[in-house]
Structure 1
Amino acid sequence: MRPRTQRAIRTALTLAAAAVLCTPATTAQGAGGTFGPLPPANPATAANGTATMHGDSASSDTTPYPGPGSGAVNWSRTALASACPTVVIGSDHRPVVLCTTIFGQTPTVHLLDPGTGADLASLALPKGSLFGGVYAYLDNTDALVLVDGGNNLLRIGHHTTADGWKLAVDQTTPLGAAVPAGDNIVGLSPGWNGRVWFATGGGTIGTVDTTTGTVRTLNTGEGVQNSISTVPGHTAVATDHALYLLTETPDGTPTVEWRAPYDRGPGRKPGQLSWGTGATPSFFGPGTGTEYVTITDNAAPHENLLVYRVAGGPNPVCTTPVLTQFPASGTEDAVIASGRSVFVTNTYGYPYPALPAGAPASVPASAGFDGGLSRVDLDADGNGCHPVWNSNVKSAALPRLSLGDGKIYTFTVSGPTGSAGAQTFASYSYATVDPETGAQLSSSWIGLGLLYNPLQMTGTTGADGTLYQGTETGVIRVTRR
């Protein structure tokens, strides 16, 4: 999911209001060997799998934890009257959820009871023209790190009081002086040396030392519509024109290691929210989990998976079209990247209830939503890649690969999925997929309409095997029966 998805959520919530008066080095066996290892655990975050929207600061979209499985499940819904794109879980096992309310479109943090999913505490935050907290992460003290609408970097802790749980801003670091007028921070991720990296929609990339308040920046001159990813010594940022790999000088000034332009296609595709890649960069590899970095481009009619060696400069290891079982493909989702394998989700034609303000007309003007997944593996010698399977599973969420049980977890959609159907008659199910073959292993019906629409947001599995899936109106909690 991308920061402009939050803009779309804000507009969608206006429509929804009328309708609803909201880590170990784990591996898993696969057909081509093993998936994994996990990327290295970032010392500044909570454990891999539950620290960020994409699981970890490398944005692998993997988890070390087994999920609810392919058998019978129980589920419950926490109604928050909000769209909830980020669920993270710390060492105390309590889910922390970042949402945007339907009424007022206010960014709000919630603390949930891990046993029941009940809302224990909430904290509303200032909103701006673009609230950058979609990509909040949980730090190594279980505090939520995010940027509010005033371009302040916040650390929000949850604390017990005589009256129960309370959420509070424990630290504030102003970033406004480093952000050009009219711009907003859209992504952030911690480095390995204590600094926090950020990127703005206008293309400014920076680091901040929250102990001193020192901020250093560079400007790419290109729009950024995705979050950013960090591994030891490197930060990856995808603009609407190119993939950047960056490092920093001793004083924290970002420097470009290499820049790789990509095919951005003739325009915004239906099922995407802006013109350019829909993928947050993902680091992966069979050795350290950081040898490669990957995104998708926006080529027409089929997008390409692009894989680069981190140490190899801007020449791709491979460029291959994906989701070719359909007439056209594109994605608004990050990929799953693990070991030698990359999994790409098709969102081409996905019916977001609304588009961000200023989004260009799509090319073509409209399209049906087919869904589907593709798996691509790097060649054994690391000098190319090859397709492994294409699947027609109609994923309505960004899937996640469990290295704990070797399953892909997602929510699927069936029935009418036009803009009206997505609000009223579309049917959503919890589902598991075999990463070896792409076959759907199980499906458990959840419900109809916007109360259950996951809006291509990703679920998070806790250490106890509970899956939390954000939806357009709250959070669904799934457990093994």
Structure 2
Amino acid sequence: MAAALVTAAPLTAGTAAATSPAAAAPSPAPPANPYLAPGGAAAMHGDSASSDTTPLAGPGTGSLTSRRTALQSACPTVLAGSDGIPVAVCTGMFDRAPHVHLLDPATGDSVTTLDLEKSSILGGIYSYLDHLDRLVVADGSGDLLRIAHHRGADGRWQLRIVERTPFGPALAEGDSVVGLAPDLRGRVWFATALGVVGTVDTATGAVRHRALGEGVANSISTAPGGTAVATDRALHLLTAGDDGVPRTEWRRAYDQGPHRKPGRLSRGTGSTPTFFGPRTGAEYLAITDNAAAQEKLIVLAADGGRTVCELPVLAADGSGTENSPVGYGNSVYVADTYGYPYPAVPDGAGDAVPATAPFRGGVTRVDVDADGEGCAVKWTSAVRSAAVPKLSVADGRLYTVERTGVIDPARTGILDRFDAVSLDSATGRVTGRHHLGTGFLFDTLQMAGNVTAGGVLWQGTVTGILRIAPRTAPTNASTTS
């Protein structure tokens, strides 16, 4: 069913007028990974350092258009490489299997699909595009795949598996790969749900691995200093020599809490580790813990694991985040997901305590002191972020989606409102708002979006993909609903 194109909604009372903040204060981006597609949208969290930043300007604060492509799938991963063509990895609503979609950049329509073998609920989600714009993904086959897209002789787009490397003994029966990232030597690092970490040299087929003895529920991050893996008990920094065997440079335990919280998918940290920093772009690492009741942001020095700060963030009477922190320069941004209603959680996640809670939300900016010896809260916004925020270093704004209850903003239900919002990263003020839709079809489920050229934000939902873009001219286009 088609619906009329949704125009930008006015700002809500109490929010700032649409301003034009300067680009984020100049700081180095995470070092470019030569084995990742350029452009800042080749991984779920933007880059292999998981900074959740983009070098491109976002949709901005003017009039926007939005279009939903229905795929009957939850689509947490929307990537784009040097050719600007979005590649989405989605999990089918009915078969729970991963499906790869190639999207039309102008409309968001799926132009071709490749079905992969079923794995765990997180299987295939954490994938990336390599330097040749090929999707690198692990599915239920027990193999690492590279999937290329190209036009066939008939002019139609195709997705094709061009490389397959077995994980072999590194992937035991009942285990699944939940994290993938390339290092700066071209090896593919992986982490499994049962805590096996390793490297794959796809040129030779060599797989080297070791067990950490701790579970993993989030993706992994790479930078020149090594590979960061957050388990359900500790943050590890790993490196590998010429033999490819992972070794631990340091391990930092954190407070894993007494139980899983509502709005979380596992016990322990909900964070993919974030490399960031004002000098090299990767001298710090950030995660959150699972302390009860108020979680802490933990910032460590990547070189040696020294504690820079452990700072309580978000609500004091019940907080938690399933999102990776956003990191740029001296600043870290954390969004509260406590109480967010996930329709399903991974096997073995355990019961949430309490079983449910209101989704109050909130986004907090924390700045690392200039001397690297502490941190302080800069601002807190009341925005109920329903997606992983993305920071544009080009226009200085955080882009996310806000979820609002019909009667009580914090009480979620099937008729909730979803708005694309932008925040001034310097102050936390809302600078733009655009109504996306109402109800389950528009639930962004704390997924990460990515930005492509022209200020287009691609955001996954529980049922498909949203394409959010500046309105450049009058149009009679329609949304798919």
**TM-score, normalized by length of structure 2?**
0.90
> CA 1:250–1:425 in structure 2 vs 1: closer, same or farther (change >3 Å)?
same
1:278 maps to amino acid: G
Deviations 1:247-284 (A, max 9, x none): 11221000000000001111111110111000000000
Q: What pairs with 1:447-458 in structure 2 (closer than 5 Å)? A: 447-458=437-448
Q: What secondary structure sits across from 1:451 in the alignment?
A: helix
**Conserved 8 A contact 2:145-2:161:** yes
1:372 maps to amino acid: G
Aligned-pair RMSD on alpha carbons?
A: 1.7
Q: What secondary structure sits across from 1:227 in the alignment?
A: coil
Q: Which residue of 2 aligns with 1:460?
A: 450
Query: 2:289 and 2:147 mapped to 1: Cα distance?
Result: 35
**Conserved 8 A contact 1:35-1:340:** no
Percent of matched pairs sharing the same residue: 54
Q: Of 125, 128, 132, which aligns to 2:123?
A: 132
Q: Of 325, 330, 339, which aligns to 1:340?
A: 330
Query: 1:79 and 1:36 mapped to 2: Cα distance?
Result: 38
Query: 1:92 and 1:194 mapped to 2: Cα distance?
Result: 21
Q: Of 219, 231, 248, which aligns to 1:239?
A: 231
Q: Which residue of 1 aligns with 2:416?
A: 426
Q: Which residue of 1 aligns with 2:10?
A: none
Deviations 1:23-65 (A, max 9, x none): xxxx9645xxx25321011000111421100000000000000
Q: Once the 2 structures are TM-superposed, how far is the Cα of residue 443 of structure 1 from its aligned partner?
A: 1.2
Query: 2:185 and 2:71 mapped to 1: Cα distance?
Result: 36
Please identify runs of 4+ aligned residues in structure 1 that moved more than 4 A.
27-30
**Conserved 8 A contact 1:192-1:233:** no
Q: Once the 2 structures are TM-superposed, how far is the Cα of residue 120 of structure 1 from its aligned partner?
A: 1.0
**Conserved 8 A contact 1:39-1:60:** yes
1:354 aligns with 2:344: yes
**Conserved 8 A contact 1:353-1:423:** no
> CA 1:280–1:129 in structure 2 vs 1: closer, same or farther (change >3 Å)?
closer
Query: 1:130 and 1:448 mapped to 2: Cα distance?
Result: 26
1:218 aligns with 2:210: yes
Q: Which residue of 2 aligns with 1:270?
A: 262
Query: 1:353 and 1:392 mapped to 2: Cα distance?
Result: 24
Q: Which residue of 2 aligns with 1:53?
A: 44
Q: What pairs with 1:166-185 in structure 2 (closer than 5 Å)? A: 166-185=158-177
Q: What secondary structure sits across from 1:413 in the alignment?
A: strand
Query: 2:420 and 2:64 mapped to 1: Cα distance?
Result: 9
Deviations 1:200-251 (A, max 9, x none): 1111100010011111111110001110000124000000000000111221
1:398 maps to amino acid: V
**Conserved 8 A contact 2:23-2:395:** no
Q: Once the 2 structures are TM-superposed, how far is the Cα of residue 130 of structure 1 from its aligned partner?
A: 4.7
1:282 aligns with 2:261: no
Q: What secondary structure sits across from 2:400 in the alignment?
A: strand
Query: 1:241 and 1:40 mapped to 2: Cα distance?
Result: 28
Query: 2:112 and 2:222 mapped to 1: Cα distance?
Result: 30
**Conserved 8 A contact 1:470-1:476:** yes
Q: What pairs with 1:42-81 in structure 2 (closer than 5 Å)? A: 42-81=33-72
Deviations 1:327-361 (A, max 9, x none): 22110000100000000000001111233333212
Q: Which residue of 2 aligns with 1:141?
A: 132
Q: Of 149, 155, 158, which aligns to 2:146?
A: 155
Q: Which residue of 2 aligns with 1:40?
A: 31
Q: What secondary structure sits across from 1:215 in the alignment?
A: strand
Q: What secondary structure sits across from 1:135 in the alignment?
A: coil
Query: 1:435 and 1:428 mapped to 2: Cα distance?
Result: 21
**Conserved 8 A contact 2:89-2:125:** yes
Aligned length in residues: 449
Q: What secondary structure sits across from 2:441 in the alignment?
A: helix
Q: What secondary structure sits across from 2:217 in the alignment?
A: strand
Query: 2:88 and 2:357 mapped to 1: Cα distance?
Result: 32
> CA 1:40–1:350 in structure 2 vs 1: closer, same or farther (change >3 Å)?
same
Q: What pairs with 1:334-413 in structure 2 (closer than 5 Å)? A: 334-413=324-403
Query: 2:364 and 2:96 mapped to 1: Cα distance?
Result: 35
Q: What secondary structure sits across from 1:306 in the alignment?
A: strand
Q: What secondary structure sits across from 1:172 in the alignment?
A: strand
Deviations 1:342-388 (A, max 9, x none): 00000001111233333212223321110001110010111111110
**Conserved 8 A contact 1:372-1:393:** yes
**Conserved 8 A contact 1:452-1:472:** yes
Of 98-107 and 214-223, deviating more is 98-107
1:414 aligns with 2:404: yes
Q: What secondary structure sits across from 2:218 in the alignment?
A: strand
Q: Of 318, 321, 326, which aligns to 1:328?
A: 318
In structure 1, stretches of 5+ residues that fail to align are: 1-26
Q: What secondary structure sits across from 1:133 in the alignment?
A: coil
**Conserved 8 A contact 1:397-1:454:** yes
Of 57-66 and 445-454, deviating more is 445-454
Query: 1:131 and 1:237 mapped to 2: Cα distance?
Result: 16
Of 374-383 and 364-373, deviating more is 364-373
Query: 1:363 and 1:132 mapped to 2: Cα distance?
Result: 26
> CA 1:131–1:168 in structure 2 vs 1: closer, same or farther (change >3 Å)?
farther
2:108 maps to amino acid: G
**Conserved 8 A contact 2:23-2:394:** no
Q: Which residue of 1 aligns with 2:109?
A: 118
Q: What pairs with 1:176-195 in structure 2 (closer than 5 Å)? A: 176-195=168-187
Query: 1:119 and 1:76 mapped to 2: Cα distance?
Result: 13
Q: What secondary structure sits across from 1:429 in the alignment?
A: strand
**Conserved 8 A contact 2:73-2:90:** yes
**Conserved 8 A contact 1:53-1:86:** yes
**Conserved 8 A contact 1:157-1:168:** yes
Q: Which residue of 2 aligns with 1:4?
A: none
Q: Which residue of 1 aligns with 2:5?
A: none
**TM-score, normalized by length of structure 1?**
0.90
Deviations 1:69-103 (A, max 9, x none): 01110111111111100011111111001001122
Which has the larger helix fraction? 1
Q: What secondary structure sits across from 1:376 in the alignment?
A: strand
Query: 1:417 and 1:465 mapped to 2: Cα distance?
Result: 33
